[in-house]
Amino acid sequence: MPNPAREPTFLPLTMAAAGESGDEGARAVRDRAESADRAAADCWLSLVAGCTSGRQALITSLHDLSEATCGYAGLRWWLGHGSLHRRRVSDAEHRIDDAVREGDGAEFAEAFIGYDQAVATVVVHVQNRLGKSVT
């Protein structure tokens, strides 16, 4: 996990929730979260510098993380009982996309908080459903 004292961290809750689990689905979520976190840090630097580089990489990484979260949760739950969570993840992902396109750093940071909370909540819910300990 990135060291917050040395570099920005955008998905700390998600990475902590996915933890170091031996579970294949949780590992996939964590791997995608780490990739998205690196892309977010790069995009953040671009926003601060007024550049446009790295923005599409972030959007792709977030989509990959959302897909991994769906896979971990299970499509049946994701489309059924988890639909509220699915909407929260999707809405937050779109909010980040809007902030990136507009170059709005404050909105970007705020939207990431919501996205991180939404994805981490799904991971914890799945782990509780499966009877796994949450790290």
Whole-model pTM: value is: 0.89
Q: Rounded to 5 degrees, what angle do the CA atoms 128, 21, 58 make?
A: 95
| Domains of the chain by residue range | 15-130
List Cβ neighbours of 44 (8 Å cut-off, separation of 6 or more). 8, 10, 105, 108, 109
Tokens encoding 110: 């705020």
Q: Give the per-residue pLDDT at 109.
A: 93
Of 48, 53, 49, 61, residue with least CA distance to 96: 61
Mean pLDDT by 10 residues, the chain (135 residues): 62 92 89 96 88 86 97 96 96 95 92 97 91 57
Q: Give the per-residue pLDDT at 53.
A: 78
Cα separation values, 80 from 38, 86, 89, 131, Å: 32, 9, 15, 20
Q: Give the per-residue pLDDT at 2.
A: 46
